[in-house]
């Protein structure tokens, strides 16, 4: 394999004012991704058309869909009822079709979706203990920490402790329910609309419904419009229980 010049002596790294420059170097990982894909297609594991279709699907997924969904449920009682009774139908009403891109969803986006309604005394949080099942049509691709065995193992055993690590401290009078996603069922949290948002538009409300709120590791709060950065923990075997 040819060695790429990491010192950059053979590459032009000129800057473009006001725009993000490209990485003007072919990386081994880029090459590996292409090589694997080509070999898989040649071996008939899937077709180039399959891959193109899934790439388009993946690239249009984004967490803003879930934020808009919850904001609408907060301001529109009819939509809220529909969302709680039939979340797939409510999704379709917003233009999000869980049957894409194959006509029956994907193996990662099976078409059973349920909204988990929080109350002042009940809080939900989602996980996939087996792998990393996630409501992708609503939330896009899962964050790295959601995929880690550490989160998957510990959230079901010590939910309050793990939520506290995310900065979410719940009082003892709030019941915590951890919902385990699987290949046949996906969940998303409908948080309680926070105080201080009276009279807000759907667009304003959607801004504070972050991805973390929809997973259940954060609560919506006026002024907070982004997810917190958090460290990743290695998977360890817990030696004590609380």
- Residues with a catalytic annotation lie at 128, 131-133
CB of 28 to other proteins, least distance (A): 4
DSSP E strands: which ranges in the chain? 113-117, 122-127, 175-180, 186-190
Q: Is 225 helix (H, G, I), strand (E, B) or coil?
A: coil
Kindly state whether residue 91 participates in binding other proteins, applying the rule CB under 8 A: no
Kindly state whether residue 130 participates in binding other proteins, applying the rule CB under 8 A: yes
CB of 40 to other proteins, least distance (A): 7
Kindly state whether residue 39 participates in binding other proteins, applying the rule CB under 8 A: yes
Question: What angle in degrees, to the nearest 10, is found between the helix axes of 64-75 and 77-85?
Answer: 120
CB of 140 to other proteins, least distance (A): 10
CA neighbor of 101 nearest in space, from 144, 52, 147, 141: 52
Stretch that binds other proteins, among 89-97, 100-108, 156-164, 220-228 (CB under 8 A): 100-108
Judged on CB neighbours under 10 Å (0-12, 13-18, 19+), 99 is: middle
Residue 241 contacts by C-beta under 8 Å, 6 or more apart in sequence? 157, 158
Residue 43 contacts by C-beta under 8 Å, 6 or more apart in sequence? none
Stretch that binds other proteins, among 36-44, 89-97, 164-172, 211-219 (CB under 8 A): 36-44
Q: Would you give the binding string for other proteins spanning residues 205-234, x where CB under 8 A is met?
A: -----------------------------x
Q: Is the dihedral of CA 67, 70, 205, 193 positive or negative?
A: negative
Length of the chain: 242
CB of 41 to other proteins, least distance (A): 9
Kindly state whether residue 59 participates in binding other proteins, applying the rule CB under 8 A: yes
Residue pointed to by tokens 């896009």? 140
CA neighbor of 228 nearest in space, from 205, 207, 209, 212: 212
Angle at 79 between CA 78 and CA 84, to 5 degrees: 105
Q: Would you give the binding string for other proteins spanning residues 107-126, x where CB under 8 A is met?
A: xx------------------
Kindly state whether residue 169 participates in binding other proteins, applying the rule CB under 8 A: no
CB of 97 to other proteins, least distance (A): 16
Nearer to other proteins, 3 or 78 (CB): 3
By the criterion CB under 8 A, which residues form the site for other proteins? 1-2, 4, 6, 8, 13, 15, 20-40, 43, 45-46, 50-52, 54-55, 57-59, 102, 106-108, 130-132, 141, 144, 147, 149, 183, 234-235
């Amino acid at each position: 394999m040819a060695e790429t010049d990491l010192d950059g002596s053979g590459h032009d790294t000129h800057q473009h004012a006001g725009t993000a420059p490209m990485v003007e170097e072919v990386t081994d990982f880029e090459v590996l991704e292409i090589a694997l894909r080509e070999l898989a297609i040649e071996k008939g594991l899937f077709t180039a058309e399959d891959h193109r279709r899934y790439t388009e699907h993946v690239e249009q997924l984004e967490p803003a869909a879930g934020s808009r969904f919850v904001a609408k449920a907060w301001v529109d009682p009819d939509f809220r009822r529909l969302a709680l009774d039939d979340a797939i139908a409510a999704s379709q009403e917003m233009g999000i079709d869980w049957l894409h891109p194959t006509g029956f969803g994907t193996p990662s986006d099976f078409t059973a979706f349920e909204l988990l309604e929080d109350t002042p005394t009940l809080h939900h949080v989602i996980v996939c203990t087996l792998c990393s099942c996630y409501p992708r049509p609503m939330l896009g691709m899962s964050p790295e920490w959601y995929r880690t065995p550490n989160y998957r193992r510990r959230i079901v055993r010590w939910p309050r402790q793990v939520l506290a690590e995310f900065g979410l401290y719940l009082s003892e009078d709030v019941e915590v329910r951890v919902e385990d996603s699987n290949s046949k069922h996906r969940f998303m949290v409908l948080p309680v609309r926070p105080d201080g948002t009276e009279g807000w538009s759907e667009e304003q409300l959607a801004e504070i419904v972050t991805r973390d709120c929809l997973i259940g590791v954060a609560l919506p709060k006026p002024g907070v419009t982004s997810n917190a950065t958090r460290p990743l923990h290695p998977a360890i075997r817990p030696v004590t229980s609380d």
